[in-house]
Structure 1
């Protein structure tokens, strides 16, 4: 398996994968809108040895109280059904977080299953008095910093790109 950044030739394949993976077309529309509006920071694909795209992970900018600290939001993450539970999503997230850190993006947030995302070092964001605008289950909105100093004196509301309002 190969993890790499998306290429222009992958766009339609990613769109098809996201449409097949999620129950509605909202996530596919989100990915396309983020790409079209240049709100896509990092888009990774997982490929088989034959080159078939079987997974996708996207990061886009988020703001804290309207301020841009180069923080990123992870969403969406998907793997082709027949390749699930083989560590592909984990590889995508790990590679994404490592790449973002290397590029100087200090903090990532995610809305998802705490039991899953905890393995990557995500913690409940409410521990830092940081929240998202949506009503979510306790602990489902999480944050991960490259280093604790990036969270010092930071509290408030995380705002995603406007494209997320379509969800």
Structure 2
């Protein structure tokens, strides 16, 4: 298993993985739009011995009070059904967090199950002064601070980039 930053040749495998893993094509279309609009900050893939994509995590810009404050959102995260429960999602997410930290980003936000994402160090975003623009998401909106002191610049209402709002 190889965990690495996605390259252009991975796009078809990522698309197929997303279409197979989710009940609709919404996530595949989202990643396509992010890539097409130049809004895919980072994509991390897990590939099998033949180079097939078996895991993926996308990171894209989010805006805090309408400004780019070097924060990104994590979505979607997916692992092929045959490779689940082997710690692969954890490896993909950590690879992304490490890379974003090296690139100088401030924080990563995620809208997801707190019990799951807290395992990676995500914390309730409201406790850090971040709030989702989406109503009713306070409990599931979480943040992973990437560098000490950087969260001071990331306080306010978070909005995902335009492709997340398209149907």
**Fold agreement, TM-score > 0.5:** yes
Find out whether 1:2 has 2:28 as its counterpart. no
Deviations 1:91-119 (Å, cap 9, x if unpaired)? 00000000100111121100111111112
Secondary structure (helix, strand or coil) at the match of 2:115 reads helix
Work out the CA distance in 1 between the residues paired with 2:101 and 2:164: 24
Secondary structure (helix, strand or coil) at the match of 2:158 reads strand
Closer/same/farther in 2, CA of residues 135 and 118 from structure 1, 3 Å limit: same
Secondary structure (helix, strand or coil) at the match of 1:152 reads helix
Structure 2 contact 64–157 (Cα < 8 Å) conserved: yes
Find out whether 1:146 has 2:136 as its counterpart. no
Report runs of 4+ in structure 1 exceeding 4 Å deviation.
none
Q: CA deviation at 1:155?
A: 2.7
Closer/same/farther in 2, CA of residues 38 and 154 from structure 1, 3 Å limit: closer
Find out whether 1:25 has 2:21 as its counterpart. no
Q: How many residues align?
A: 167
Runs of 5+ in structure 2 lacking a partner? Answer: none
Closer/same/farther in 2, CA of residues 36 and 83 from structure 1, 3 Å limit: same
How large is the RMSD of aligned CA atoms in angstroms? Answer: 1.4
Question: 1:1-167 counterparts in 2 under 5 A?
Answer: 1-152=1-152, 154-167=154-167
TM-score (norm 1): 0.94
Deviations 1:66-123 (Å, cap 9, x if unpaired)? 1111111000000011111111100000000001001111211001111111121110
Secondary structure (helix, strand or coil) at the match of 2:38 reads coil
Work out the CA distance in 1 between the residues paired with 2:16 and 2:86: 21
Work out the CA distance in 2 between the residues paired with 1:117 and 1:12: 27
TM-score (norm 2): 0.94
